[in-house]
A = this chain, B = another copy of it.
């Protein structure tokens, strides 16, 4: 019982190792500032398939298999998969991973899903329930626009507060030991699972504002539960708040006495170049933070530029039905502490 920290967090006595990870993104993400760091850039938005949904399934499968291949792991080395996506009834995951023939825990945390997967995967490995698990999440611009907004063929105008769903996936192999890995030792040392936070925002095209309160809650709770300050982290990385959400996040935390302006970084702001890529509020989607975690954040840790980060992807818990029925857009944010050690 010593692993429980404060009211929400866990500290792992046997901190799981991230022994492999992979990222695959679309062409637009490949053309962005982090293009050279992703493992693969796929120029065909359909990934060789016939529909956007099949494309996302293929993206997820390829990313999963790449994470195994990079460390010469086989399917038999993985005991459980923790995975999800943004589509109704998780169809990108179900159809993408069926042929892996491994037990699957389907997850839904909107754009926070990769953190939910890493938290549950860490609990599983640290608890001795599996020697190795695979955690992954994806999003695809085509399938997300079709589901949440307008068919691409419609060519509608997008408000400046809207974000651009990232075509991308990130996959991570967590292990109870790091034997055989050439990586510097990256470990998930603690987690802060998040609560649903609803400030009553109703604009589904300004999701950064809707999600910022949840991020603020999880980050401040992490500080309290672990008795830490912002300076204890080299970076505090949110998922896809965008410019508007970032402003709100910094303000909300400042009101609680925490200034994270020196540490804060948002994957949605980072992944595209706003000057040249016309992506408005920034990138979004499960694949945004998942792909950037593998391609860039873990690399900075591995290279010794950072030693400890708090990774806090954020999700907007809505559907087109809830939105059309006049519901608010509540947010959730799950926190993962990743350390080089």
A positions within 8 Å CB-CB of B:
1-4, 7-8, 10, 50-51, 53-54, 79-80, 84, 86-91, 94-95, 97-98, 101-110, 116, 119-120, 123-124, 126-131, 147, 176, 193-196, 198, 317-322, 325, 327, 330, 332
Name the B residues within 8 Å of A123 (CB-CB).
123-124, 127, 129
Distance between A317 CB and nearest chain B CB, rounded to angstroms: 4
Closest to A143 in B: B321
Instruction: Give the most central of A80, A91, A98, A101: most B CB within 10 Å.
Output: A91
- Listed by A's residue number, 25 A-B pairs whose Cβ atoms lie within 8 Å are A1-B128, A4-B128, A4-B129, A7-B79, A8-B79, A8-B103, A10-B129, A87-B88, A89-B322, A90-B317, A94-B332, A95-B317, A98-B330, A104-B194, A104-B332, A105-B107, A105-B109, A105-B116, A106-B107, A107-B107, A123-B123, A123-B127, A127-B127, A127-B128, A147-B321
Bound complex: CA A86 to CA B306 (Å): 41
Whether B193 contacts A91 by the Cβ 8 Å rule is no
Name the B residues within 8 Å of A108 (CB-CB).
84, 89-90, 106-108
Given contacts A1-B176, A7-B79, A87-B321, 6 further A-B contacts (CB under 8 A): A1-B128, A1-B131, A4-B131, A90-B108, A123-B124, A147-B321
Bound complex: CA A49 to CA B124 (Å): 39
When the two chains form the complex, which single residue of B80, B91, B95, B129 contacts A127, counting CB atoms closer than 8 Å?
Answer: B129
Distance between A84 CB and nearest chain B CB, rounded to angstroms: 7
Bound complex: CA A320 to CA B147 (Å): 12
Closest to A76 in B: B7
Bound complex: CA A95 to CA B79 (Å): 33
Distance between A117 CB and nearest chain B CB, rounded to angstroms: 10
Bound complex: CA A318 to CA B88 (Å): 9
Bound complex: CA A326 to CA B332 (Å): 33
Whether B4 contacts A79 by the Cβ 8 Å rule is yes
Distance between A4 CB and nearest chain B CB, rounded to angstroms: 7
